[in-house]
Each structure stands twice: as structure tokens, then as C-alpha cells.
Amino acid sequence: MPSSTLNPLLEGKPPEPLLVVISGPSGVGKDSVLTRMRELAFPFHFVVTATSRPIRPGETDGYDYHFVSTERFEQMVREEELLEWAVVYGQYKGIPKFEVRQAMASGRDVVLRINVDGAATLKRMAPEAVFIFLAPASPEELRRRLALRRTETPAEIDRRLAVAAHEMEQVVHFDYVVLNREDRLDEAVGEIRAIITAEKQRVFPRQVRL
């Protein structure tokens, strides 16, 4: 929520860091968008999610995800080391508290990638975050994208598409929608960049308190 404190820019000071939540249906391309943002050296801290799912070819531990064992993940849950966690398609995913707090304290913007259910939890915990919903240009494009990934079986793809239809309805709880059109990744990334720039210009900026 906007606060009643004027933008520090008006006193020649840097704006407060933002907490940016990027979500959207499974398979919409959240990972591709975040990877591209990192390639372009956006000056943000990307919070690396912890997961118990197996590492995929081309992924790097500690960069794409913190890949941990199921046992270690359950320990993190017990010891309340996670800001938010969920079971996603039979695997744990969660956001280490340490990561987020360290990043915010450093004064940099924080970008989180999270599934739609997780975003709903975060909205309750941090309503003043910037919620961006990444949407496919069409359901057909989402199917093609999932098929291309080749990590899901056809039955899994069907299940994900059914879930995606429900997830799309959750867009109403978000601030912004960005379409991730096939072959137009940089357009989506540019729109996310614009949203972040614009949010820093608000006369009454959002103030994140986690």
C-alpha cells in the first residue's frame, strides 16, 4: 500500500528498495524472464528459491535454485527458515528468509520468482510489494512452451494446463500484467523494467516492511 511518506527523490535521496514479485502460471516462462534480467545485469538482487526437485541439465546450484535434499528442506520448514514454501508438483519450493532480508538490508531492489499460490501468500505478508503477473499470449502458446521444455510427460502437461487455467484467474490479485509472447522475451523484460522504474517515481512510494 502507498504510505503517506513522500518520495525521497524530492529531497535528493535515493528511493527506497522495492520488493518485486514475478509470478504467473506454470510454464509461462518465469525462469526465462529472470535469466534474461540477470543476463542484462539489472541492478537487482534475485532471491534464489530453495527446492527439493532434482537439478535439470544446464542449471546451476545457488544460481537457478538452491537445490537441497527433501530432508534438508523439511528441516528448513521446521526451523522456520522459509518466508514462504509450498509443495509444487510433488516437490518442495520455498524462499529462504535470510536471502530476502539480506538483500533488502543492502538497499537494493529484490526480485522474487514464485508460483501463483505463493504470490497469494506473499500478498498477505507484504501487500506493499509490486506484484507482476506474467501471462502467456494464449493457452495454445502455453501448451507449446510446456511441450518444448520436454521435462514433463504429456499427462503432466495436461495437468499443468488445467492448473494454469485456474491460475490465470488469479491475475485480479496482481498489480500489473506482462505478456510473455513467444520470441518476444525482451519485450516482457522491458515492460518489467518500466514497471520498476515507474514504481520508483511514485509520489507516495510503497514501503516494504517484512
For the bound state, the minimum distance from the C-beta of residue 185 to a second copy, rounded and expressed in Å, comes to 16
CB 10 within 8 A of CB 108: no
Give helix 154-169 / helix 139-149 axis angle, nearest 10°: 140
Q: How far is the CB of 133 from a second copy (least distance, A)?
A: 7
Nearest-angstrom CA–CA distance, 26 and 134: 10
Closer CB to a second copy, residue 149 or residue 202? 202
Least distance (Å) from a second copy to the CB of residue 137? 7
Q: How far is the CB of 115 from a second copy (least distance, A)?
A: 18
Angle, CA 93 vertex, CA 58 and CA 200 arms, to 5°: 85
Residue of 45, 46, 54 lying closest to 93 (CA atoms): 54
Positions touching a second copy (CB under 8 A) are 6-7, 9-10, 12, 132-133, 135, 137-138, 171-172, 174-179, 190-191, 193-195, 197-199, 201-204
- C-alpha 27/C-alpha 135 separation (Å) is 10
Which lies closer to a second copy via its Cβ, residue 36 or residue 193?
193
| Closest to a second copy by CB, 2 or 107 | 2
User: CA-to-CA distance for 21 and 125, rounded, in angstroms?
Assistant: 12
Contact (Cβ atoms closer than 8 angstroms) between residue 130 and residue 18: yes
Query: Would you say 155 or 203 has its CB closer to a second copy?
Result: 203
Least Å distance, CB 45 to a second copy, is 20
Which amino acid, 159?
R
CA distances from 89 to 39, 51, 115, 196, 210 (A): 28, 12, 11, 31, 28
Q: Kindly tell me which of 63 and 204 has the beta carbon lying closer to a second copy.
A: 204
User: Least CB distance from residue 42 to a second copy, whole Å?
Assistant: 13
Q: Which is nearer to a second copy, 81 or 199 (CB)?
A: 199
